Structures are given as structure tokens and as C-alpha cells.
Amino acid sequence: MLHPKQQAFVDDDRLEVLFGGSAGSGKTYAQLAAALKFAHIPGYSALLIRRSYSHLTMPGAFIPTAREWLGGRADYNQATHTWTFPSGATLSFGHLDHDRDLDKYQGAQLQFIGIDEATQIPEHHYRYLFSRLRKPEGFDVPLRFRATSNPGGISHEFIKRRFITEGELDGRRFIPALLQDNPSLDREKYIETLSKLDPLTRARLLDGDWDVLPEGGMFKREWFEIVQERDLPRGIKWTRFWDRAATAPKEGTDPDWTAGALVGVKKGIWYIRDIAHFRASSEGNEVRIRQTADADGRSVPVWLEQEPGSSGKDVISHYARTVLPGFTFKGKRSTGSKADRAAPVASAAELGNLKLVSGPWINAFLDEAAAFPMVAHDDMIDAVSGAFSVVFERPFIVRSVHIRGL
């Protein structure tokens, strides 16, 4: 018998629903029950996914639970991990550990896809699976994409944004479920077990807290003072440094971002005035970088991280000749690890010598900084680190390629 929140998850026929929060909330049972909802209809196909095959087979996971529920009621094919029902409907189990695993689902036609612990798989895997959700004309079964998860994992921010921040506005539903919503579990003993965890993991698994963020060890949010534009001292020399990515976003991918940090220093106090942050093709990068340079003004030097080898030199030459003619522009080759390059930034922030100028970019930057270096995308930190490096090496003097307008 399902508990009320599990039943709500099963009953909802909208396209996309997330169930979860704390550990022990009954996610696996809810997901399996939702997948079986239309198993009596001929032609119905459902797929349940975990990140790895071992996650499917451990005690209490999908495959052993399905054996308990379905033994004698449907036929199981061990080789394909598929149950076939008397109606002809099927329920399959799969995993997504690597990009190559996506090929296994090419051509599949599914009416239900459920991902358990959705924050454990990359965003581009999650998005790709929507292409497998389809049905024949006139087939009277709703298409459903279901996710269950605890907070945390590589796709924590993506899942949080998709369901909790933007969910209702985009027609998605989040059903928050906590340990106390599952009376089938020995909650007292499980709480005792979870109490042994570190504070971050305990907050996520016991309290279902989607807002607590990991401390990456280099930055703390409270180190950054936010100041207003009108309070900036006069005479700051600004520098814009770009960390460039050249892959445009598309279905099934999770490319890096292009980030350009506008950084200045005056009397030992550093200021980040703006961070441009976007995903675009190579051509789109050129347009946005030129637009940003025009907005900053020609007095602001522009730097671009230079990739190793001749291709990196070619990119710098191309930008100097065709993208930023007339601007003070130069490429900068990075050395050392990302953490090493970010160390001066962290030091300035910890000492209270790094200020953020109020703007819409700040929350995203602070989220990235708090998790750095244990974060999927670190483009903004890289851009700020690059700006620090060029100002340290050549304070206020930029020996650069300066090509006047053609």
C-alpha cells in the first residue's frame, strides 16, 4: 500500500514530476509504482534508470523490489532486464554511467521514463532521454517523465532549478517527501544512523535541504562584501579577462560557459564590477565579446585565455585582427592548476580585500565560488583568476597587441 505522497506521485499525469528530499522517503517504491500504472495496456513501454547497474541490483533497489512485486505476474528476461506483462506491456531497467550508454536507448519509443537519484547523472543525459519519450498517434496513455532524488550530486543545481525554482511556472511539479512521510521505515533507527554523517550530507539526507551548498574549501560566501556602483572610488583601472568556451549548447550536451570578468584594483582593494556569463558558438562568442568590449569602452584592456599550441596563437591573432581591432588586447597562457590560479583571489577575499559590485551576476558567482573547486563549471572563477594574474604581472600597464580600426 502506498503512502499519501507516493500515491500523489503515481496519480499525477502531467509530463514531469520530481519526488524526493530526504533519504528513506520511499522514492524507489513511488517510482516503481508510477512505472507500473499503465502496465495493463497493450503496447505500453516504461524504463527505469539508475546511474550504474550495481545501483539497480543492491538490496531495496529496483530489480530486487520488482522481483518481489511481479514474481508470478509477469515474465522477466534476465539478459535484457525487462519484464513483459500479459498485456504485452514492458518494464525495462537501464543505467547511464557514461555518454556511450546513451546509444543503448537510441530508437526506443517509451511512454514512461523514470530516473532514480536524478542528481547523480549529468544534465545532458537527463535532457537526452526526453527524445525517447513518444507514442503512436491515438495511443491513450500520457507521456510521463519522472525523477526521484535526494539533494546533492553533480546535477544538484540543475534539478533544483528545474523543479523547485522554475518548476511550477513551467508546468513541472515537485513533491517534497521526508523521512516522516514513510511510516513503513524504522525512522528512529534510521535517524540515528544519519546523525553520524557530516553536517552537509546530514542536512541533505535527513532534512531534504536543497538550499545548503558544499564548501569547496577555498571560498566562503561571507568573505565577499557587496558594494554599490556609486560607492566605488575614483581612478580604478579596469581589466576584462575572458575564459572562452567554444561549444554552443544543444540537446544532449553540457558544455562549459564563456565568462568575462571585469576586475579592477585601487589601493590594494580589488573589485569585480561585472561578469558576463553565457554559452554560445565560436561566432556567438565573438559577437558577445565585441559587444561587451564596446560597452566597457576602449580604455579597458581585454585579455583572452590562450590555449596551448599553434591553434591558441591563431585564435588570439584572429581576435586581434577581426574581433577587437582598435582595442588593447592580448592573449594570456595559463599555468598551474585552477586551484593554484585561484589562490590569490581567495586570499584577497578572505582578508576582506575583494568587493563585488552589485549586479544580477552575483548569486551565480557566489554559488560557483562556494563549491570551487568541487564544481562542474568553474568558468567565472577562472575568469577572475585570469584578471588577477594579468593585473599582478602588469599593474595598470598592458603591453599588448593594439591594432587600430581597419
CATH number (domain holding residue 393): 3.30.420.240
Residue 214 lies in a domain: no
Judgement on whether residues 185 and 135 belong to the same structural domain of the protein:
yes
pLDDT value at residue 367:
86
Which DSSP state fits 256? -
Cβ neighbours of residue 53 closer than 8 Å, sequence gap 6 or more: 95, 97
Judgement on whether residues 237 and 364 belong to the same structural domain of the protein:
yes
- Residues 282 and 286: their CA atoms lie apart, in Å, by 6
pLDDT value at residue 251:
53
**Secondary structure of residue 234 in the 3-state scheme:** coil
Judgement on whether residues 302 and 390 belong to the same structural domain of the protein:
yes
Judgement on whether residues 147 and 27 belong to the same structural domain of the protein:
yes
Judgement on whether residues 166 and 239 belong to the same structural domain of the protein:
no
- Residues 142 and 71: their CA atoms lie apart, in Å, by 26
Per DSSP bridges, beta strands 45-50 and 75-77 are unpaired
Judgement on whether residues 239 and 266 belong to the same structural domain of the protein:
yes
Judgement on whether residues 59 and 172 belong to the same structural domain of the protein:
yes
pLDDT value at residue 273:
97
pLDDT value at residue 193:
78
CA distances from 81 to 31, 43, 73, 100, 309 (A): 17, 18, 16, 19, 48
Range of the domain at 286: 221-402
Cβ neighbours of residue 146 closer than 8 Å, sequence gap 6 or more: 9, 16, 17, 18, 19, 31, 34, 35, 112, 113, 114, 115
Judgement on whether residues 260 and 173 belong to the same structural domain of the protein:
no
Cβ neighbours of residue 58 closer than 8 Å, sequence gap 6 or more: 64
Report the number of distinct structural domains present in the chain.
2
* Segments in the chain below pLDDT 50: 252, 395-406
- Residues 295 and 239: their CA atoms lie apart, in Å, by 13
Judgement on whether residues 159 and 236 belong to the same structural domain of the protein:
no
pLDDT value at residue 398:
38
Residue 212 lies in a domain: no
- 141 closest CA partner among 194, 184, 90: 90
Query: Which residues does residue 266 pair with via DSSP β-bridges, in sequence order?
Result: 269
Judgement on whether residues 65 and 189 belong to the same structural domain of the protein:
yes
pLDDT value at residue 401:
40
pLDDT value at residue 402:
43
**Secondary structure of residue 51 in the 3-state scheme:** coil
Where would I find the beta strands (DSSP E) of 51-111?
75-77, 82-84, 90-95
- State the CATH number of the domain containing residue 80: 3.40.50.300
